[in-house]
Structure 1
């Protein structure tokens, strides 16, 4: 109770912004406060918690162990207080709200064009910040409260506190320079395995559906080029013998290279669900509920069932 006598709600809100942003200036922008005011609050918080909370490592601020322990319960407490204080009704046309969404550039290409048009027409005060990371880091950001939603291909055995909704089912396709392909316009299994391959992934070691399919077949491929960017992938394959195997929508979104031919993989690869993930603590948040339903509607609700766990 001694700490409670020395701290008020504004300080807790400031602490939450600092722990999420790990940057005094960005926290100040998030809070619509001056940088000196946030720096002064950080000094008070360090004294109250008897911990530096944020320490500088390799030129940037990182959370201490104590700060990392505080983030999730603090996020949950502030969400619960907000639910008590705020009106439950959400009026998108009048709302001013910011959401942070974790997704790859594939997810951005699928979701954002339609969502941005809808927001500009129906909810112009809603702002979006898009962040990218590995599957593990995106799930961690939702769990910690540093992201409102994550989109991608995730394991089915997620923690109980995370909620999911399958937005659509995706299949795979291959692409290569059309001049390097047989008259059939595709590669058979032997030809496909003999080619060098391109892998687009945030982490080359990250498990993916293609490697799992190859493992089931008892074969392997040579990944000659691994990179985290879709934008250049199409141009890399033109005038080479490289082959890319990826989600079918990828070729419509990013690979507008006239030299490329898209064809069906020469072996079965299990389709995957593209999934939206959020934390159960956000389920009472009307703005969050509205955004989830809006995303489902924008994509034509190609998943199964309502937008819930």
Structure 2
């Protein structure tokens, strides 16, 4: 208790903002304080913890090892205090909020219809703005505070980005059924000999399919790259193109008529589809409610998601 008397709770809030933002000006903006006030608080914190906490690295600031060690226990302690003080305070029916969410049209197709209906029914004062970006851009936008949440596949995230699995997904291939053998199956050699469609925000983007092929010393010819999931199946009709995508992408009406789906002729691991957010948002009751709602709306079959901090 004697140690607690040496520090003002406001200093801990400032420390939390500094560790999350890794930038004095952004921390000041987040706390609605002046930059000199945050700089003064940082000097006090450095004296208390006997550590610089933030150091200059090129044009940016970086956390010291001591600051990195403080990040998780501080987050947990403030979360507990927030829960104690705000228990029962958030009412979605009365809340007025605006959430910025990055997602592909794949995620929009799966989640948005149910999510929007849920919001209109349970939280009519909560608005959402959806944008689309690459995986790398989403993580950068989360870090900069430009978005509140991102939906996608995030195998590698920095320690200040938390992810939660919404569901497990797997890949399937699809093509015009008239271009396939009667049984709708292709050998690996036949599959590789055909031209392919890749859905990506940019042509040089890394993807799980080509990474899996490269691990086996294999390569496919990509004849078309496009950023729109919704258009990816439409271009297959009357062509020899093959599209390999997450299984929930396909419209059952489309692939029940002109198109046929089949299992890719090589091993592709299942992968988690996730929601991601910056730790600065984690203790916000409205954000917590929104994450829980997205989780509920994304489940087409009962699967549990587990929150985890993922580091490189």
The residue matched to 1:168 in structure 2 has which SS?
Answer: strand
- Once the two structures are superposed, what CA deviation does each residue of 1:12-44 show, in whole Å capped at 9, x if it has no partner? xxxxxxxxxxxxxxxxxxxxxxxxxxxxxxxxx
1:90 matched to 2:90? The reply is yes
CA RMSD of aligned residues (A): 2.6
- Mind listing any 5+ residue stretches in structure 2 that lack a counterpart? 1-21, 34-77
Aligned to 1:17: none
1:99 matched to 2:99? The reply is yes
Q: CA deviation at 1:105?
A: 0.8
Alignment of 1:1-309 (within 5 A): 72-74=26-28, 76-78=30-32, 89-156=89-156, 158-252=157-251, 258-300=257-299, 302-305=303-306, 307=307, 309=309
TM-score by structure 1 length? 0.71
Cα distance change of structure 1 residues 155 and 76 upon mapping to structure 2, 3 Å threshold: farther
Aligned mates of 1:76, 1:253 — CA distance in 2: 46
- Is the 2:106–2:230 contact (alpha carbons within 8 Å) kept by the matching residues of 1? no
- Mind listing any 5+ residue stretches in structure 1 that lack a counterpart? 1-67
- Once the two structures are superposed, what CA deviation does each residue of 1:243-271 show, in whole Å capped at 9, x if it has no partner? 00010011138956731111111111111
- Is the 1:76–1:281 contact (alpha carbons within 8 Å) kept by the matching residues of 2? no
Aligned mates of 1:253, 1:201 — CA distance in 2: 22
- Is the 1:199–1:223 contact (alpha carbons within 8 Å) kept by the matching residues of 2? yes
Q: CA deviation at 1:76?
A: 3.9
- Aligned residue pairs total 237
The residue matched to 2:233 in structure 1 has which SS?
Answer: helix
Q: CA deviation at 1:180?
A: 0.6
Q: Which runs of 4+ in 1 moved over 4 A?
A: 68-71, 253-257
- Is the 1:235–1:257 contact (alpha carbons within 8 Å) kept by the matching residues of 2? no
- Is the 1:175–1:244 contact (alpha carbons within 8 Å) kept by the matching residues of 2? yes
The residue matched to 2:197 in structure 1 has which SS?
Answer: strand
Cα distance change of structure 1 residues 155 and 92 upon mapping to structure 2, 3 Å threshold: same
Name the stretch that deviates more: 115-124 or 295-304. Answer: 295-304
Aligned mates of 1:184, 1:257 — CA distance in 2: 15
